[in-house]
Amino acid sequence: MVATRNPGKIREIRALLEGLGYEILSLDHYPPFPPVEERGETFRENALEKARAAARFTGEMALADDSGLEVDILDGAPGVKSARFGGEDISDAQRCELLLKKLEGVPLENRKARFRCVIALVTPRGEEYVVEGTCEGYIALKPKGGHGFGYDPVFYLPSYGRTMAQIPPEEKNKISHRAQALAKMKVILERLAGGRS
Ligand code: IMP
């Protein structure tokens, strides 16, 4: 099962893990289960904590992810706080504006950043696996593009000459931090599926 209620994440994970013989269920399939607070200092701690709680609660193999944006000149901020950077109640667009404000006057070459995604897998027997994917880029000088979500409009990909929000979703799904982490997790799940039969 996957410890999320985000239909986009479930769709992506189903597509990628198709054919391995796993039934992929989201948290919505189970009785209400208290949300795990993301209190960790690292993506790894948060992903593991969510996967452990979900495995304990459901008795199934549980996958959980945590992701965010790290900006080098801000010492890795917003990092694990990406989803609540600037407060819980502001929009994604406002969060992007706040980030641009913090980087005012900083030239593009010093705006290096990356998206990071950590995925944890915990089995009912308590075995734990953790993988990570990153996607390197720069914080753009202004927001551009309408695809994606979160910080995509201000995440500039030098190899495309565009922001993440200007490239089509199919393209993003090939290069994203999440896609890279999922590809690594697929190898582990294939191995575990082999061991089951
Ligand atoms: P979570 O992993 O669902 O907790 O998301 C963490 C936060 O990181 C999101 O709310 C976004 O602000 C940011 N984030 C994670 N992945 C992406 C992405 O692919 N594009 C843009 N923002 C992202």
Instruction: State pLDDT tens for residues 36-83.
Output: 887 899 999 999 999 999 999 999 999 999 999 999 999 999 999 999
The mean pLDDT of 120-141, rounded to a whole number, is: 97
- Say if ligand 1 is within 6 A of residue 85 CB: no
**185 half-sphere exposure, CB direction, 13 A CA radius:** 29
Report the distance separating Cα 107 and Cα 36, nearest Å: 39
Distance 126 CA to ligand 1 centre (A): 27
Distance 98 CA to ligand 1 centre (A): 16
Token representation of residue 191: 């191995």
- What pTM was computed for the model? 0.94
Strand partners, 120: 64, 130
Residue nearest atom 7 in ligand 1 by C-alpha distance: 83
Which listed CATH number (3.90.950.10, 3.30.420.280, 3.30.460.10, 3.30.70.141) goes with 7-196? 3.90.950.10
- Would residue 66 show up in a list of annotated catalytic residues for this protein? yes
| Residues 115/156, Cβ–Cβ less than 8 Å | no
Report the distance separating Cα 3 and Cα 157, nearest Å: 30
Which residue type is seen at 36? Answer: V
Report the distance separating Cα 12 and Cα 122, nearest Å: 19
Token representation of residue 62: 């549980």
Q: What are the pLDDT digits (tens) for 88-106?
A: 999 999 999 999 999 999 9
